Chain A
Amino acid sequence: MKNNKVNNEVINILFCGTGGQGVLTAAEIVSLAAMYDGFHTKKSEVHGMAQRGGSVESHVRFGSLVASPLIEAGAADFIVPFYKPERDRLIEYLSKDGKDFTADLEEAQLNCKDKRFVNTYMLGRLSKYLNLSKESWLKALEAGFKGKLVEENRKVFLDAVK
């Protein structure tokens, strides 16, 4: 098992970044993948009034039964940042044995010439730590990007999984 949680526990993933970086799309895709695999899934966003450039965080929780739509401080199993200062601001959410994807972000930024694919790359990395089926991931990518650049996103995702 890729994560050390038992089946009835809830997986908590915190995505963060700024408006326009694809934070909400990434959170939507992992939520869809979890839903396709039959998990009770909740995704909740926290953002302010700005359409672009403001702080954006999205809490994704899935398991057999999820109560709160928000992750508690110190309870995130994963923090997936798209902007380092936002990660620093929210790091108190990460649990002691949680995983921080900051290093993966740096790698994503190096590997993605087109910044639009950074979120997909990060999802590929995240997928290695979650027990979600490849079939659901690919279906979620297609639904999450609403048919836009599906082939490119699929390729970036699969490359990042390697």
Chain B
Amino acid sequence: MKKILLLSGDEAVARGAYEAGLKLAAAYPGTPSTEILEYLTQFPEVDARWAVNEKTSYEIALGASIAGVRSMYSSKHVGLNVAMDPLMTSAYTGVTGGFVVVVADDPQMASSQNEQDDRLIAKFAKIPMLEPSSPREAYLMARSAFDLSEKFDTPVMIRITTRVAHTKEDVEIGERNEVPDKPFVPNPAKYVMIPGYAYKKHIALEAKLLEMAKYSDESSLNFIEINDNSMGIITSGVSYLYAKEAFPNASFLKIGFSYPFPDEKIKQFAKEVKDLYVIEELEPFIEEHVKQLYIPVKAKDVSYRIGELNPGLVKEIIEGKKKVEKPSTARKPVLCPGCSHRPVFYALKKLKAIVAGDIGCYTLGTLKPLDAMHTTVCMGGGVTLFDSMSKILGHNKVVGVVGDSTFVHSGIEGLIDAAYNGAKGLLLVLDNSTTGMTGCQNNPATGFTAKGEKTKKLSIEDISKAAGADIVETIGAYADNLADKIHELMNKDALSVLIVRYPCKVLTKAKDPIPVFDGANCKNCGACLQIDCPAIHRNEAGNIVLEEYLCAGCDLCVRMCKFGALKKAENR
């Protein structure tokens, strides 16, 4: 009997890999790729694990491949930056068991700090790339990618985007195919990349690229659909579906095996159509290649390199327009009701601290009215930027902020750096006992694995001391003396780590007794709005409203109200 599931692109990649005999998968959570590894945790045949960061994930997965099993790495686009070191050289070493590298780009930056196009990384690293348009294709491509990896002795990249990762579609699935492990045969010339061996591997890699280009031309993943031949569109990924929606009668060269390029098919298609267009999101990856083949092609204005496409924008591109940026009308992102980061940012604002921030839910502390974060660049940057900024601007003025998962990801090295080079001042580790922004995943500091099994728990206190912090203290997020403690440690002639610990309410689903709002006492001063809680707002009539169904009962608003309009619940 046919088995059909409604799967997201992420889940479909995971399902395809599982069926291909995947034995080990390693990842660090990141929107929009998180659900790939999450989906794999249900299978006992797969060692599916969260790793400390993307570099370790990549190396762990590569190691499994070298040892002879099929393995997979997955991350978001910026995550792959962290793994670039092993990625680049793994193109030289190649693999033993099939090794697949899944990367999810985020055009429009639904939840990212940039919108880099990682298709360029496949070209840069010289590894083949598959680019599914939909969950159905993601499933099929993941299932076949491991064979491809073993055939060409190379990591294979599967590149998706947010729209593919987070679209669900009905997908017909199959059974798992158990693939025998390959023997590990010591082969230093393949796996020890000293210059002499690496030079030979580079020669071999260039030859391999030519072979793969031939294969790309033969691959059924690159196909031509001739309809109305007055208009031909070369496209890949989800852009194919947008173009198909906008111009159902046009002719298409749909590229699924998208690096190395299928040059012969591109040339053939160009001959068969009158006007040739390229439709692609972000960088002019296909466009530049087609132009290198001396084929005249109409491509998008530079303005469409920014953000996500959709069928309407595809029509504009074909009409030769420039993109008109419209301001977003979406609601401002806010910390959840009852978020334990809220009292910290309120305190930092009151102290007028300069805050070197990091990547996580707490990044939302930058928006008004909390307005208490001044840098966010990359994972772990909250620690290192704090180190140098506090040295220059004064450690009594600058505070570093990092979350528990981010601290483990790449904050610990920064703390060692700071201690080693004599930094003073305060690093706050906001420990909400989960990797929150990506939807609550475990990490070494939670003491549980990706599969929810108990494991060794990393002590943030102990490792901070070992890294060289002079003072390491722990405080509750709602402690009355939180602001005083931050102020005290900022002004000490010492390197301090203050761990602010309170579990995420999305994780615990804890609903404490909610405050009582007494409108008669409300002077409408707006003090309660300063904490930017989604459960409190002014209604259309201009009056304060407490949305009881949203409120998580943290009582922070009660502290803000001087007129007794917001009171603690009687049973507290």
Contacts and interface: CB of A to CB of B under 8 A. Distances in A.
Contacts of B49: none
Contacts of B364: 49-50
A53 B238 CA distance: 28
Interface residues of B: mostly helix, strand, loop or mixed? Answer: loop
Interface stretch (B10-18, B327-335, B446-454): B327-335
Contact of A50 (B167, B241, B248, B334): B334
B5 to A, nearest CB: 9
Contacts of B310: 68, 70, 72
A20, A32, A50, A115, most chain B CB atoms within 10 A: A50
A45 to B, nearest CB: 6
A69 B331 contact: no
B311 A72 contact: yes
B110 interface: yes
B454 to A, nearest CB: 24
A53 B170 contact: no
B110 A46 contact: yes
Contacts of A49: 31, 110-111, 333, 363-364, 437
B245 A35 contact: no
A53 B534 contact: yes
Contact of A67 (B110, B245, B312, B361): B245
Given A31-B168, A53-B336, A69 B134 contact: yes
Interface centre among A40, A45, A46, A49 (most CB of B within 10 A): A49
A92 to B, nearest CB: 10
A22 to B, nearest CB: 11
A142 to B, nearest CB: 14
A135 B310 CA distance: 34
A8 interface: no
B302 interface: no
B529 to A, nearest CB: 14
Contacts of A48: 110-111, 330-331, 333
Interface string A45-88: 11111111111000000000001111011000000000000100
Contacts of A70: 163, 242, 310-311
A89 interface: yes
Interface residues of B, number: 40
A44 interface: yes
B169 interface: yes
B479 to A, nearest CB: 24
B181 to A, nearest CB: 36
Interface string B539-565: 000000000011000000000000000
A127 interface: no
B432 to A, nearest CB: 11
B179 interface: no
Nearest to A54: B333
Given A42-B169, A68-B244, A89-B329, A52 B238 contact: no
Contact of A52 (B6, B111, B312, B550): B550
B4 interface: yes
Contact of A20 (B4, B311, B550): B550
Contacts of B483: none
A153 interface: no
B337 interface: yes
A60 to B, nearest CB: 9
A52 B549 CA distance: 12
B336 A72 contact: no
Contacts of B336: 50-53
Nearest to A43: B168
Given A44-B166, A70-B310, A28 B6 contact: yes
A57 to B, nearest CB: 9
A33 to B, nearest CB: 10
B330 A54 contact: yes
Contact of A53 (B111, B169, B312, B331): B331
A119 interface: no
Interface string B220-263: 00000000000000000010011011001000000000000000
A48 B32 CA distance: 11
Contacts of B245: 67-68, 72
A68 B242 contact: yes
B436 interface: yes
A120 interface: no
A68 B239 CA distance: 9
A43 B165 CA distance: 11
Contacts of A68: 241-242, 244-245, 310-311
Contacts of B436: 51
Contacts of B422: none
A133 to B, nearest CB: 16
B297 interface: no
A40 B170 CA distance: 7
Interface centre among B241, B330, B332 (most CB of A within 10 A): B330
A51 B439 contact: yes
A106 to B, nearest CB: 15
B84 interface: no
Contacts of A55: 330-331
B482 interface: no
B336 to A, nearest CB: 4
Interface in B143-168: 163, 166-168
A63 to B, nearest CB: 12
B506 interface: yes
Contacts of A31: 6, 168
Interface string A102-146: 000000000000010000000000000000000000000000000
Nearest to B310: A70
A20 B533 CA distance: 14
Nearest to B238: A69
Contacts of B534: 18, 52-53
A44 B110 contact: no
**Most chain A C-beta atoms within 10 Å of own C-beta, residue among B169, B170, B245:** B170
Given A48-B330, A115-B549, 4 more contacts: A20-B550, A42-B169, A43-B6, A86-B331
Closest 9 CB pairs of A and B: A53-B534, A50-B333, A68-B245, A52-B336, A55-B330, A69-B167, A49-B111, A67-B245, A44-B167
Interface of A: 18, 20, 28, 31-32, 35, 39-55, 67-70, 72-73, 86, 89, 115
10 contacts: A41-B6, A42-B168, A42-B169, A44-B168, A47-B110, A49-B437, A52-B534, A53-B550, A69-B167, A73-B312
